[in-house]
Amino acid sequence: MRIAVLVVCCALFLDKLVWSAQPTRTNLIFILTDNQGAWTLGCYGNPDIRTPNIDRLAREGTKFTRALSSNPVCSPTRATFLTGLIPSQHGVHSFLDPQYMMGPRAYNTLAEFTSLGEILRAEGYTCGLSGKWHLGANLQPSEGFSFWITKPDGSTREFYDQDVIEHGQVRKEAGYTTELWTRKGIEFIEQNKDRPFCLFLAYNGPYVLGNLMLNASRNRHAAEYRGHRFTSFPVDSMHPWQFANKQFHNQQIAMERTACEVSGVDDGVGHIMESLERLKLDDNTLVVYTADQGWMGGQNGIWGMGDHLRPTGAHEMMMRIPMIFRQPGTVAANKSNDLIVSNYDFLPTVLGQLGLSDKMPTSPKSPGRDFSPALREQQLDWENVAFYEMETTRAIRIEDWKYVARFPNGPFELYNMQTDPMERFNLYGQPNTQTIRDQLAQKLTSFFEHYADSQYDLWKGGRSKAKRHTP
């Protein structure tokens, strides 16, 4: 018996010795919000909405002022964050229908690709999801994740008394789901504090869509925002292209609900940061805060994102997202960076920052570029350009100009982003603009010819995994 005990003790000691001799891996907390324009945060200049914890991330890290999403709805952008691929590569062109999330037709839309969780799992990380998935086969963990609590659907009807999925079962969550995702995220961190981990904390807030926007908030911020005069929400006549969300325009209750849900997410970020400090994980954890896509709250008379317009839209504020990286002693603090970056740059950049650049999948080849040197204030050879697609609408954004094309016959748009950053004056077809228009059209065409997979290229008869197509 004594010999057996001695053997076990020696084995445990050697295992601990081998583990401690391995290089320390940096943990990752990837915080992704739902439908949040960068302009809704204090650190991006919002004077109305209180976001002290997210503002702290920006003070203690590097904030990107021109981060753009490559699509204006949630399933495609989430697929892009996790794979580094654009919709014409991963095939998820719009929000996923509920039939693909649960039931006999459910399937994982990312199964054919190697994504963030799978890459990190292969490197010894434990990966957990707390929050919205909306990429199919929601009942069971996938893509390298073992800890898994999510929603059975993609849309948010309310934030209280909602169905959630945990341990492969659907149950009712009586409380505030924003707080649930935070609690479960902290639970995952505590369970894995002694090993490398990746937490995908995917809030379904602030959301700011659907009839919930006409309901008063029930979170702790409701009283503070009630009756507040919101100068950051323009009161304007409705844009003629507005197709959905018309009931929210210029409505005080919708502004209040937006502010409450943004501040509710901010509370969660604060609790996550407190947990890292309490567990002494602060210095060894890279925290990234971003959103799946941008959102407009009255600017140019628009409420919502690109699929809420007809024709579908490609306005900059539908694309501009917050993007903040924070790791004390590693990521430069209190820095604001104005590179034009995209969510398809996220995966190569995170892997670069974690020292795993060589693990970036090469097939299909991502259009993403690694801007992690900028997090350490190193010189970076970078072209300011980003590409966008919403089904048959495509766009290119460069330093001074933006061009929008719609297959097959338009309408087309061209904006000088230096003189007209709000995109109010369409210069397409105007005198002295043909040269820049032709240059951007050619650059846009070349990009998609290089990267698009023919089976998912909607401009050439391809299909969408979302089974939706709107001109």
Per-residue pLDDT tens digits of the chain, which is 471 residues long: 444 444 444 444 444 443 343 468 999 999 999 999 999 999 999 999 999 999 999 999 999 999 999 999 999 999 999 999 999 999 999 999 999 999 999 999 999 999 999 999 999 999 999 999 999 999 999 999 999 999 999 999 999 999 999 999 999 999 999 999 999 999 999 999 999 999 999 999 999 999 999 999 999 999 999 999 999 999 999 999 999 999 999 999 999 999 999 999 999 999 999 999 999 999 999 999 999 999 999 999 999 999 999 999 999 999 999 999 999 999 999 999 999 999 999 999 999 999 999 999 999 999 999 999 999 999 999 999 999 999 999 999 999 999 999 999 999 999 999 999 999 999 999 999 999 999 999 999 999 999 999 999 999 999 999 976 554
**Is the CB of residue 357 less than 8 Å from the CB of residue 351?**
yes
E strands within 35-72?
A: 62-68
* Percentage helix, strand, coil for the chain under 3-state DSSP, each rounded to 5: 35, 20, 45
Identify the pLDDT of residue 23. Answer: 60
E strands within 207-333?
A: 285-291, 296-297, 303-304, 320-321, 323-326
Identify the pLDDT of residue 467. Answer: 74
**Is the CB of residue 439 less than 8 Å from the CB of residue 396?**
no
Domain ranges across the chain: 25-384
**CB count in 10 Å sphere of residue 178:** 24
Task: Provide CB contacts within 8 A for 467, sequence distance 6+.
Answer: 97
Identify the pLDDT of residue 469. Answer: 55
In this structure, whether the domain defined by 25-384 belongs to CATH 3.40.720.10 is answered with yes
Identify the pLDDT of residue 468. Answer: 65
**Is the CB of residue 109 less than 8 Å from the CB of residue 90?**
yes
Summary count for the chain: helices (H), strands (E): 12, 17
What pTM did the predictor assign? 0.95
Distance CA 35, CA 205 (A): 8
Residue 63: helix, strand or coil by DSSP? strand
